Amino acid sequence: MKTHRQLSQEHKNLIRRYLLWAYKSTKESFERIERKTTQLLIDEYLLAHLAKKGARIPDEFKEYIAQKRKDEKKLKFTDTGGKELHPEYVYLKNRLAAIEAAIKYFLGTKELKNISKLYEVEFTRRILEARDH
């Protein structure tokens, strides 16, 4: 059996495309859950900052944060106490780590950094071009 270093350029290209797709799709799924945690961190900071400044805080914003907190717990944990991680969340986290290891193995650490950068650039572009406001 050939090692990954002995593969033809065509096979290496196929491997790269598959790993790029696997990274993108898995990272999107994982980040769909992780975004809730990140957004909560920021929204709670905003809420505290506004309260400290004595600003009027609409009830809708408080309800929005409360709902996001519930959604995060439901996606990330199996229990309401937030101690038992949801199996799907654990799977996505482990799958992403395995894909990153495969990219390093087949394509090298430099290519993992490149793929990660491509992902960040693409999602930043999507955010900046979004017209849903």
pLDDT recorded at residue 32: 93
Radius of gyration of the chain (CA): 20
- State the residue range of the domain holding 53: 19-128
**What's the rounded Cα separation, in Å, for the pair 10 and 31?**
31
4 in any annotated domain: no
Mean pLDDT, the chain, integer: 92
Structure-model confidence comparison of residues 2 and 125, the more confident one = 125
Tell me the whole-structure pTM to 2 decimals.
Answer: 0.84
pLDDT recorded at residue 4: 67
pLDDT recorded at residue 114: 97
84 in any annotated domain: yes
110 in any annotated domain: yes
Residue range 81-98, pLDDT digits in tens: 778 999 999 999 999 999
Q: Is the pLDDT of residue 2 over 60?
A: no
CA-nearest of 42, 32, 36 to 72 is 36
11 in any annotated domain: no
33 in any annotated domain: yes
